[in-house]
Amino acid sequence: MMATAAAPSPSAAPQRPRWGYQTSLWQVRQPAFWLFALVLLITTIFSIGIQAAFADLTPGGWLLSWVLLALYAVPVIIAVFALDLYEREPLSLVIGALLWGAFAATSMSIFANVGWGIALIDWFGLDFAGRWAAALTAPFTEEITKGVGVVLLYLIARQEIDDLMDGFVYGAMVGLGFTVVEDVFYFVNVFGGDPGGVFQGFFVRVIASGLYGHVLYTGLFGMGVAYFVSRRRDSTLGKRLGVAALLIAAAIFAHFLWNSPLLDFFPAGELDTAGEYLQVVVATAAKGLPFLAVLFVMLVLARRREHRWLRAALASEVGKEGLRADELAVLESPSARRRARREMAARAGPQAAQVLKRFQKAQINLAMVVTRTHSEDHPDVVRQRRYCKQLRDWLIAYAPQTPLAPPAAAPG
């Protein structure tokens, strides 16, 4: 009764402290931001000119290409976002990663690939360049131009890349943006641009190959960058350089193998029969499946590290005003967090569910504050604890019958 009597107005949910806000892409005091913006502006103008030419050449095929690729891109974005269990990345940075891949990396790669392709013809002849140019140019030029985007995003918002999963998210988003624009080029220029050619290109480059392309390559590259910048306290410089170089080399080698004539089991000529379409699936799996397995292992290890990190970071906070043991059990399970919010919405309405979501996020932020300050008495830690307590008090006041722990947790 006392909690109810002292409760604030339902419209006055506690305000998060300064630390609780994520870093935006718009960091005008950072030189990296202006470099990022300038390169993106110039390359976007160039890329829009190319897309306008495609639209003029085959309006229906160009539009169909974008519709199909949007149907592919949206689920990929959702899936990549869902992999980061605790700290969703700022939307502005994610959009920046997509735009860099779509416009900056593709535009710069066009010039680099053409230049190195001409050099290979001069050095080794037309026949050799025709077979090997794609493997000896694109894996290096494209992965470097995409990887530069990940590095710039880190320099713009250093606190947002603090584990391997963050690096994968930004790398995968850069790779996705690159994939979409590159596929439009292939659908129009290589597969003919008519609806039949666009659908055939969509099968070959997305349905059969979508798991093995730029999302995978730049995801590995981003994890390499993230390992190097986030493991300063628990790894030597040599180890950080070695692991980062290994992950980046894996990304480049996967791209090289994909573009090379090695392990080329693709059917020759047009795809006319069901057997030839199946052969495409087998051929893409032969080239890409091993590297997809490597990425899967890395993601599993990264998620396990996230679980261990959360438990270790919050171990000293259990029992203090910001965290209870049953609440920690909820935080450790994404499904339990979602279940608790659904339960809250059903019992107390959508506003209470939103406050519960803020409460869970605030407790995860508490773990990050403790980790970064290395002090239980740091003012940021104290403020974050107080913010968590205020959110809990609000929930107790306006949804007293709603459990804040999953059904399997012990009462109290």
Higher-pLDDT residue of 67 and 396 is: 67
- Percent of all residues in the chain with a pLDDT value above 70, rounded to a whole number: 91
Which pLDDT does position 152 carry in this prediction? 97
DSSP 378: -
Higher-pLDDT residue of 400 and 60 is: 60
Mean of the per-residue pLDDT values of the chain:
87
Task: Write out pLDDT tens, residues 352-404.
Answer: 899 999 999 899 889 888 887 777 888 889 999 999 999 999 998 887 654 44
| 224/219 Cα distance (integer angstroms) | 9
8 A C-beta contact, residue 146 and residue 214: yes
Which pLDDT does position 254 carry in this prediction? 94
- Percent of all residues in the chain with a pLDDT value above 90, rounded to a whole number: 55
Which pLDDT does position 304 carry in this prediction? 83
User: Can you spell out the DSSP letters for 244-281?
Assistant: HHHHHHHHHHHHHHHHSSTT--PPSS---SHHHHHHHH
Residue type, 361: K
Which pLDDT does position 194 carry in this prediction? 92
Task: Write out pLDDT tens, residues 205-251.
Answer: 999 998 899 999 999 999 999 999 988 888 899 999 999 999 999 99
Q: What are phi and psi for residue 260, nearest 5 degrees?
A: -80, 165
Residue 394, Cβ neighbours under 10 Å: how many?
Answer: 22
Look at residue 336 and tell me whether its pLDDT is greater than 70.
yes
Task: Write out pLDDT tens, residues 26-51.
Answer: 998 999 999 999 999 999 999 999 99
8 A C-beta contact, residue 410 and residue 326: yes
Residue 278, Cβ neighbours under 10 Å: how many?
Answer: 12
Mark residue 125 as left, alpha or beta (left: phi above 0; alpha: psi -120 to 50; beta: remaining). left
Task: Single out the residue of 224, 239, 237 nearest to residue 143, CA to CA.
Answer: 224
Measured over the CA atoms of residue 116, residue 117, residue 122 and residue 124, the dihedral's sign is positive
Tell me which range, 150-154, 155-159, 326-330, is most confidently predicted by mean pLDDT: 150-154
pTM of the complete model: 0.81
Task: Write out pLDDT tens, residues 85-116.
Answer: 666 788 899 999 999 999 999 999 999 999 99
Q: Quick one: average pLDDT of 334-345? A: 89
